Amino acid sequence: MNSRGLSSKELSQELNRVRYRHRFWTIVRNTLYVLMAVASTAVLIAVLWLPVLRIYGHSMNKTLAEGDIVVTLKGSEFDRGDVIAFYYNNKVLVKRVIAESGDWVEVNSEGEVYVNQKKLDEPYVLEKALGESNIKYPYQVPDGQIFVLGDNRATSIDSRNTSIGGVSQEQIVGEIAFRVWPLNEIGPID
């Protein structure tokens, strides 16, 4: 026994308990650091390369519905038919690329879309309609812009209306590439 009345066995147990507590809190602290680093990396990736968006409204119905959650790929090259997200008046809108700079676009009263005098095959359109159009046809897409339309043409406000007009490269968030919610519809966006 020592002067405080502890045996060497009790002293050894107390030392092991203190060491265990120190190891435990070291592991907890290191785990928290790793989790913070992973979360920070995930947020950085989501903001810089893969923004995640939630769909509001019905302008893209058939392809996307209200409440869908999608992943966007950053980029600057888009093909006709790609679904993109872009900034407009502090909102993010989602529409489909129809024509590029210099292309001539015409939408007739039945909602048929022609690009460079060729009728587009649009299986993704919910219902063909002229919609809210106040531009003069044929319309030439200005340099540095793209012409976009929603898939639900009757309700979509898009490049057919001068309030939105053509979309410039600076406005574009990226291409909508993948739906992650709802779970029964997970997959790439066509």
Q: Does the active-site annotation cover 118?
A: no
The 3 state secondary structure assigned to the chain is CCCCCCCHHHHHHHHHHHHHHHHHHHHHHHHHHHHHHHHHHHHHHHHHCCCEEECCCCCCCCCCCCCCEEEEECCCCCCCCCEEEEEECCEEEEEEEEECCCCEEEECCCCCEEECCEECCCCCCCCCCCCCCCCCCCEECCCCEEEEECCCCCCCCCCCCCCCCCEEHHHEEEEEEEEEECHHHCEECC
Q: Does the active-site annotation cover 9?
A: no
Distance CA 99, CA 147 (A): 5
Write down the catalytic residue from 7, 8, 12, 59. Answer: 59
Write down the catalytic residue from 8, 95, 101, 128. Answer: 95
Which residues does the annotation mark as catalytic? 59, 95
